[in-house]
Amino acid sequence: MSTGIDKTGIKIGMWLFLYSEILLFGGLFVLYAAYFYKYPEFFSEGGKELNRVIGAVNTVVLLVSSFTVAASITAVQRKAKKQAIGLLIFSIFCGVVFLVNKYFEWGAKFHHDIYPNSETLVSGEVGLNIFFGLYYVITGLHGLHVIIGMILLSISLVLVMAGKVTESKYSMLENAGLYWHLVDLIWIFVFPLFYLVL
Amino acid sequence: MDSQKNNHILSYTTLALVLGLLLVLTGVTVGVSYIDLGFFNVPVALAIACTKVTFVLLFFMHLRYEGPIINFSFIGTISFLLIMIGFIFFDVAFR
Amino acid sequence: MIKTESFYDTPAPAGLTGIKAWLLTHDHKRLALMYMWAILFWFVIAMMFGLLLRTELMSQGRTIMGPEVYNSLFTLHGVIMIFLFVIPAIPAIFGNFFLPIQLGTDDVFFPRLNLFSWYLFMFGGVFALISLFTGEGFPDTGWTFYVPFSVEANSNVSVTVMAAFILGMSSMLTGLNFITTFHRMRDKNMGLMQIPLFTWSLYATAWVQILATPVISITLVLVVVERLFSIGLFEPDKGGDPILYQHLFWMYSHPAVYIMILPGMGVISEIIPVFSRKSIFGYKAIVWSSMGIAVAGSLVWAHHMYTSGMSDVSVFVFSLLTFLVAIPSAVKVFSWIATMHKGSIEMTPPLLLALIFIYLFSVGGLTGLVLGAVGTDIHVHDTHFVVSHFHFVMFGGTGFAFFAALHFWWPKMFGIMYEFKNAYIGAVLTAIGFLFHYVPMFILGLQGMPRRYYDYLPKYETGNFLAGFGGYLLCLGILIMFGNLFMSFKRRIPAPSDPWGATTLEWTVPSPPPVHNFVKKPQIKEFPYDFSEVGKREKNGEKSRKIL
């Protein structure tokens, strides 16, 4: 109750929020499953048009940033403030790299006239239209979550610098980290489902 | 009730090992995608993804060290998601 | 009793004055009251819309409005009633007020998040209002926002959909708060099987809120995305499948039915034992049936779609699963009845309303079986039978549970007692009006009158007239009921801390409760519905309450 801060409780609250995020994406994965069943050959054709290398690079970027966020929590717990700040800045930088990659990827697709309601997709095969429709919706929503995650990490960064996040009180950083890992989790599924379907 | 002092500190080495494993698995899944396994393409890719996700959850997200409330509710959430995806096939697969 | 300052006199956080003490408060009790006024406002608006609809249908052809207005009105009636009244009513008002007290604590776990949910709720309401007065006309898609119409309609669907999205977030965050409070703030001496049933039902509801709401959120987002970019995810021309929209929609909206009814069942489980002066029958069975409904309710969504063109296999599977939900619901009804058996029943307005609930809910539940079975459903699908069925459950069930909760907890929330006689008159009139209003609709539905139609064949005129007449009776009854409750503010007859002889923790604190709820450390009973002390007290001739 009023005796100190209940860190476990705060974490439970955050996890509950993460569940709702999982199911938010879950709704889209339901659509993916149903349409993949309906148009398997077009999904593999569409998958080949996506740039596997950029996808793999982005996966690595997110994995590394997940690692640095987790390490920054360890750093805070060990009272290594400078390390924590460095690790967090690096994580946010990874987020930027991810988004820049995404920007070039989307840009290339737009250049090839592949975007929602574009001439190529509307007059082409319907299966491809659905594949790229889902691609844009899911990666778009994921990109939005990357941005939110970066904002949360930046807030934590400021709080670490200001000495508000310490080894005895780091719930904010921990929750921002959990959110960032969730973004990573979703990408781990998005990557094979879109880039590697054969 | 789970204990209040949940101060398990993961060492950098553990985290780095997990990261290494995740990167290897990423390499494997990209590599496998160049081989045509027929029907098994998707199951293999998903199995690797699930393994990766499990490691992120257990170590980066500390799920290994959480109390029963978070663990059970997480399993419940995933079951609910699987039910949604699974039950939709009663319709889609038999239309 | 020690004189204590009620939460009305103590702002939380301290130091706030005037209107700020309400608008910036973290106190779950103040927030509950703020929810109450907002929700009552929306209830009255939506009720008026409903009455206008039924007036239009009282005679054939144009009566008071044109078909476009009619389409908008039933959409708004549905959207407002569902998202702004039925879903939030009991959790947001009574849940916020009593869940922390029943758990023996001073507030919810995230008080500021609680305030934020209230603002989301108000913001969602404002969005709903904006959607009325901007864009090209009122939304007229029905509350289900089915594609392709919702994507193609020129009316202001996007804003309405976003309103529903925001309201969903508000409801989800409330659920998140409740679960965390349940696990982390519960009195250390209170075991899981010592928790009052109302709180248990809110806990089950909260899980559904957290797990199902995101699905509607993403579905509504997709409707907006489709309107903006026309990707074609649900458009057959572009390879999409409109039935998948219905799947996604009902994946939330069917569990949402249990978000609406479970807290109502919790209220009834509190009221019945109190006025039977008898421990609740089958406490554990009720707890498990709450959780069972939450789980089973998530497996049956496609029974709304038997005629939509989905596969026969799924029609069969979902019909079978639907019958499973009947089991935990029936467990509850039988437990309530068994609680009353050989009890020492004391009639009061809350009990009367609870009894009406049991009757109306049972009718609603049993007609649900008619709809759950495929053979009969195909005959009455999308007719007035369906309209009547879900009003029996939503209004006869949740609505009456809401009224019962108001009458049960009113003395605790405001510290004043209302007049019984008028409450009885209001309740009875509402129930009679209700039956006059909805029973004809069952018959109309069986005769084949479709729902959502502006006009009808001459043979349906009698039924529609009767339903309209019943609608006026119903509204009159509700008016009397609320008028009576509000009159209590004028008469100000103080209520004691335990006017009913009830046993759960909220009745051990002063009415209205002080800002931290408990004056002294709460005494956790071994079993929350142990009436032996109340019985002793009453045997000694000590009346809990003056007869009014």
CATH code for position C87:
1.20.210.10
Q: Which residues of chain B have pLDDT under 50?
A: 1-5
**Would you place residue C545 in the very low, low, confident or very high pLDDT band (cuts 50, 70, 90)?**
low
CATH superfamily to which A7-195 belongs: Cytochrome c oxidase, subunit III, four-helix bundle (1.20.120.80)
Q: What is the pLDDT of residues C496-539, one digit of tens each?
A: 888 998 999 999 999 899 988 898 888 888 899 988 888 888 77
Tell me the longest C-alpha to C-alpha distance in chain A: 65
Which structural domain, as residue segments, surrounds residue C439? 20-539
For residue C10, tell me if it sits in a domain. no
CB–CB of A30 and B85 under 8 A? yes
Taking the Cβ of residue A60 and every Cβ of chain C, the question of whether any pair is shorter than 8 Å is answered with no
Q: Is A99 on the interface with C (CB under 8 A)?
A: no
CA nearest A65 in B: which residue?
A: B19
CA quadruple B82, B85, B91, B92: dihedral positive or negative? negative
User: C412: exposed, middle or buried (C-beta count within 10 Å: 0-12, 13-18, 19+)?
Assistant: buried
Distance CA C209, CA C88 (A): 11
Q: Which of A47-61, C261-275, C385-399, C419-433 is predicted least confidently?
A: A47-61
Q: In C442-470, which positions are buried (b, 16+ CB within 10 angstroms) versus exposed (e)?
A: bbbbbeebebeebebeeebeebbbbbbbb
How many CB atoms are closer than 10 A to CB C472?
A: 16
Residue C462 lies inside a defined structural domain of this protein: yes
B59: nearest CA partner in chain A: A70
Question: Taking CB atoms and an 8 Å limit, are A193 and B93 in contact across chains?
Answer: no
With beta carbons less than 8 A apart as the criterion, state whether A62 and A184 touch: yes
- pLDDT tens for A109-136 read 999 888 888 888 888 889 999 999 999 9
- Nearest by Cα to C220 from C306, C126, C130, C124: C124
Q: Given an 8 Å threshold on Cβ–Cβ distance, is B85 in contact with A196?
A: no
Least confident of A56-60, C173-177, C493-497: C493-497
- Is there a contact between C286 and C335 (Cβ–Cβ < 8 Å)? yes
Determine the distance in angstroms separating the CA of B57 from the nearest CA of chain C, rounded to an integer: 19
Paired tokens of C211? 């797990």
Domain membership of residue C12 (yes or no) is: no
Cβ pair B90:C311 closer than 8 A: yes
Q: Does A54 touch chain C (CB under 8 A)?
A: no
8 A C-beta contact, residue C293 and residue C321: no
Task: Confirm whether C166 is domain-assigned.
Answer: yes
A chain contacts of residue B70, beta-carbon cutoff 8 Å? 11-12, 15
pLDDT, mean of residues C447-476 = 94
Q: Which residues of B touch C312 (CB under 8 A)?
A: 94
Distances B47 to B18, B44, C477 between C-alpha atoms, Å? 17, 5, 61
Instruction: Please count the residue pairs, one from chain A and one from chain C, whose beta carbons lie less than 8 angstroms apart.
Output: 107
pLDDT at residue C432 greater than cutoff 80? yes
Please state, rounded to an integer, the average pLDDT across all residues of chain C: 91
Is the pTM of the predicted complex or chain greater than 0.90?
yes
Q: Which residue has the tokens 């009113």?
A: C410
Q: Which chains touch B (3 or more CB pairs under 8 A)?
A: A, C
Each residue's pLDDT tens digit, C330-369 = 999 999 999 999 999 999 999 999 999 999 999 999 999 9
**Closest residue in C to B77 (Cα–Cα):** C211
Question: Residue C246 contacts by C-beta under 8 Å, 6 or more apart in sequence?
Answer: C146, C304, C305, C308
pLDDT in tens, A161-196: 998 888 888 889 999 999 999 999 999 999 999 998
* Nearest residue in B to A34, CA atom: B92
- Return contacts of A97-104, CB within 8 angstroms, 24+ apart: A97/A61, A98/A58, A98/A61, A98/A62, A98/A65, A98/A146, A99/A143, A99/A146, A99/A147, A101/A54, A101/A57, A101/A58, A101/A61, A102/A58, A102/A139, A102/A143, A104/A54
Q: How many domains does chain C fold into?
A: 1
Q: Residue C273: inside a domain, yes or no?
A: yes
User: pLDDT tens across C166-214, in order?
Assistant: 999 999 999 999 999 999 999 999 999 999 999 999 999 999 999 999 9
Q: Which residues does chain B have within 8 Å of residue C317's beta carbon, measured at their own beta carbons?
A: 87, 90
Q: Which two tokens stand for residue C224?
A: 């907006």
Q: Where are the domains of chain A?
A: 7-195
Q: Is the pLDDT of residue C152 over 90?
A: no
Q: Are C336 and C272 in contact (CB under 8 A)?
A: yes
Sequence-ordered alpha helix ranges (H) in C185-277: 197-229, 242-276
Q: Is C13 within the bounds of a domain?
A: no
Chain centroid to CA A100: 14
What pLDDT score does A1 carry? 39
Cα distances from C436 to residues A43, B24, C424, C440, in angstroms, run: 56, 70, 18, 7
Pairwise CB contact (< 8 Å): A23 & B81: yes
d(CA C469, nearest CA chain A) in Å: 43
Name the nearest CA neighbour of C166 among C212, C217, C201, C107: C217
Residue A3 has pLDDT above 70, yes or no: no
Cα–Cα nearest to C347, from C288, C287, C407, C306 = C407
In a domain, C544, yes or no: no
What is the secondary structure of C293-323 as a DSSP string? HHHHGGG-GGGG-TTTT--HHHHHHHHHHHH
Structure confidence at residue B90 (pLDDT): 93
| pLDDT number for residue B7 | 62
Residues of B in contact with A26 (CB under 8 A): 81, 84-85
Residues of C in contact with A7 (CB under 8 A): none
Q: Which of A12, A24, A34 sits opposite C244 (nearest CB)?
A: A34
pLDDT at C544: 54
Q: Which of B69, B80, B94 sits opposite C311 (nearest CB)?
A: B94
CA distances from C155 to A43, A88, A117, A170, B44 (A): 35, 47, 22, 48, 47
For residue C343, tell me if it sits in a domain.
yes
Torsion of CA C417, C421, C424, C426, to 10 degrees: -90
Chain A residue with the nearest C-alpha to that of C237: A126
**Chain A residues whose beta carbon lies within 8 Å of the beta carbon of residue B2:** 8
Beta bridge partners of C417: C493
The C-alpha of C328 sits at a distance from chain A's nearest C-alpha, in angstroms, of 26
pLDDT of res. B3: 40
